[in-house]
Structure 1
Amino acid sequence: MLKLNLQYFAADEKTEKATPKKRQDTRKKGQVPKSQDVNTGFLLLMVFGLLFLMGGSLKGTLTGMFEHTFQEYISWEVTENQVYDVFVESLLEISKVVVPIMGIAIVAGVTSNLLQVGVMFTGEPLKMDLKKIDPIQGAKKIFSARALVELVKSLLKITVVGTITFSIIWMNKETMMEVSQMSIDGALAFFGRTTILMGLASALALLLLSVLDYSYQKYDHEKNIRMSKKDIKDEHKNIEGDPQIKSKIKEKQRQMAASRMMSEVPEADVVITNPTHFAIAVKYDEEKFDAPYVVAKGVDFLALKIKEVAKAHEIVTVENRPLARALYQKSDIDQPIDEEFYKAVAEILAYVYRIQKKV
């Protein structure tokens, strides 16, 4: 008994790699290895890269808008039309700054997801699931090993980003102390360069950390989708079909085929028998085939049924043991007989036609 229990637990232990079908099913549910740090790092890199390349142009757009505001708008009369014009023109100028940043952010988000999971559309994560608001399950997640890993990751990211930003500020502390002596343009340029430098450095650091995080996410995903030997067997049964069910389906198909075959027996010209073990119903229709063809055949019980139907419909039965056995083995239903049987079958048909006074 103990040995059987041990075998059961061994079969149920998740030790096997996930099958392609298992991977496909989990992907349909939206369960794929993915690191949010890849998205964050790539997003920061793209946005601060845009600011590095277009910062001067964006700054010029904003300062130009403010100059126009204090030089032109301030002297306008406050009317409904004037307020509308100010709103529209200001919105257009702000859009010149916001749209490129929002656009590059969207491109970065889509690209980072495509790099990790490829093209995937699924609504499974959006479905209502009461387990997601289960306080017991929530507590288990909070105090789980995964939660501890996420905490360590967060602390590591805060430490790395904090160290980078502090180092950059520390390296520029002397210039920062002299900002009060600079012009507005000089101060803005300094803070802009420093901010972009901190952003790019932090983005690169997060991307390096994301490589480790993605490796962990992939390992954790593979661990979660592992299968037991029993799972693989069950999946194989579901794909191929349960042997008992397949056997029943085949039996049902045989019964249906036999039923269709029996319906063709009344149309036969002759039934050639063994006489007890084999029965082959043969018909000749020159419009269908150039040679006689088999409309039904059977052995033992099925042969008996064929002979009963033939008798009920007054179909001539001819006993020819070697011919009956050979036709059963070498002929297919609704197919012409082989050439080697032409002469023997022709003689039998001639005999039948004479009996029925067809010739």
Structure 2
Amino acid sequence: MELLRLDLQFFNQEKTEKATPKKRQDSRNKGQVAKSQDINSAILLFFVFLFLLVFGSVMGEVFTGMYTYSFTEFIHWEVTAATTEHVFFQMTMEAVKVVLPVMVVAVIAALLSNYIQFGLLFSGEPLKFDLKKIDPIKGFKRIFSVRALVEFLKSLLKIVSIGGVCFAVLWLQKDELMLLSLKTVSESIAFFAQLTIQMGIAASLMLMFLSVFDYLYQRYDHEKNIKMSKQDVKDEYKKMEGDPLIKSRIKDTQRQMAQQRMMSEVPTADVIITNPTHFSIALKYDEEKSDAPFVVAKGADYVAFRIREIAEANGVMRIENRSLARGLYASVEIGDSIPEEFYQAVAEVLAYVYKLQRKV
């Protein structure tokens, strides 16, 4: 039996349960989401090369203009601190005009690729310093893990696939490559720029195709990592719903406090109607608070006995009426006025009580 109990405890810690919504949200808040870096790279490369395809000629003209201006104007300037500063400033501004649009496109592509995968997410958790990340033992384990093997195979597949695509593009342009010696310098530069863009777009499309499978793997791996054990699910439920033992104690405390408040109202009652031992109903009639008598306390068995004790200690009259006591206990809550069906019976009881009090 002891071995069986230990085995059950062992299996209870296995990560066999799907992550709960709270676990998923906690992981997301920590920046742990299913994400393929290949999708980011593919979309970024595709948009950058697409931008170069459309605006590459304009950018080339800007760079050519910078080159021409430098060797027609700047070369004749006297080299001083002021002229050097001016040259560097002007060349920097021209370079920024060319590079900045490319950077903007790259940033937009990066944001878009992340949004496609997991939506809007801002988390500083991955940026926090963690000594576990530089633990050499864990680092060694990561190097020789299944994930490392998968990453190696992925890298090998990407090299072969992208290399094959680039070779195919070059092979299609082999005739033009053979005729480069007959072209001018500007024509050769334009050809190589066009060839580079073609290879970049083709490579990014191939990478985009491969990244779909990578994303599916990353999603599978993420789901596996956030799985929970049965004990984890129970602990989370306790945190969300509260420990049943603590909730029970809170309810007991609330019940005791309610009974104490109820008992403190018994001395103010006009009469206690009993069963005689099973039920006790404390009634009070106050014209300013209610048009009909209302219940200030009620109880069964031990609580009924305590109501009778307090009433006797404070001189509150007690009347035995089995049917009335049972009916009021079942129909009226503490603080509520009695229903019309009990008006006649309660009025007779109160009239009898007031008559006895006047005699006293």
TM above 0.5: yes
State the TM-score, normalizing by the size of structure 1: 0.90
Higher mean alpha-carbon deviation, 336-345 vs 97-106, is at 336-345
Inter-partner Cα distance in structure 1 for 2:202 and 2:59:
21
Higher mean alpha-carbon deviation, 6-15 vs 35-44, is at 6-15
Partner SS for 1:42: helix
The Cα of 1:39 is off from its aligned counterpart by 0.3
Inter-partner Cα distance in structure 1 for 2:305 and 2:129:
61
The Cα of 1:231 is off from its aligned counterpart by 3.4
**Gaps in structure 1 of 5+ consecutive residues:** none
Q: Determine whether 1:89 maps to 2:90.
A: yes
- For 2:50, the equivalent position in structure 1 comes to 49
- For 2:229, the equivalent position in structure 1 comes to 228
Q: What pairs up with 1:2-13 in 2 under 5 angstroms? A: 2-13=3-14
- For 1:28, the equivalent position in structure 2 comes to 29
The structure-2 alpha-carbon separation of the partners of 1:77 and 1:262, relative to structure 1 and needing over 3 Å to count, comes to farther
**Gaps in structure 2 of 5+ consecutive residues:** none
The Cα of 1:80 is off from its aligned counterpart by 5.4
The Cα of 1:180 is off from its aligned counterpart by 4.6
- For 1:156, the equivalent position in structure 2 comes to 157
Q: Paired residues, what number?
A: 358
Deviations 1:51-102 (A, max 9, x none): 0011111111221222223333333455555445444433332222111110
CA RMSD of aligned residues (A): 2.4
Higher mean alpha-carbon deviation, 287-296 vs 37-46, is at 287-296
Inter-partner Cα distance in structure 1 for 2:186 and 2:266:
103
Deviations 1:296-329 (A, max 9, x none): 1112222222233333433333222221222111
AA partner of residue 352 (structure 2): Y
Q: What pairs up with 1:200-239 in 2 under 5 angstroms? A: 200-239=201-240
Q: What pairs up with 1:1-359 in 2 under 5 angstroms? A: 1=1, 2-78=3-79, 82-357=83-358
Deviations 1:137-176 (A, max 9, x none): 1111111111111111111112222222233334434433
Higher mean alpha-carbon deviation, 84-93 vs 329-338, is at 84-93
Deviations 1:214-244 (A, max 9, x none): 1111111222223334433443343333332
State the TM-score, normalizing by the size of structure 2: 0.90
Identity %: 56
Higher mean alpha-carbon deviation, 32-41 vs 126-135, is at 126-135
The Cα of 1:334 is off from its aligned counterpart by 1.2
Higher mean alpha-carbon deviation, 253-262 vs 78-87, is at 78-87
Partner SS for 1:297: strand
AA partner of residue 62 (structure 1): F
AA partner of residue 71 (structure 2): F
Deviation beyond 6 Å, 4+ runs, structure 1: none
Higher mean alpha-carbon deviation, 278-287 vs 35-44, is at 278-287
AA partner of residue 189 (structure 2): L
Deviations 1:182-224 (A, max 9, x none): 3232122111101101111110111111011111111112222
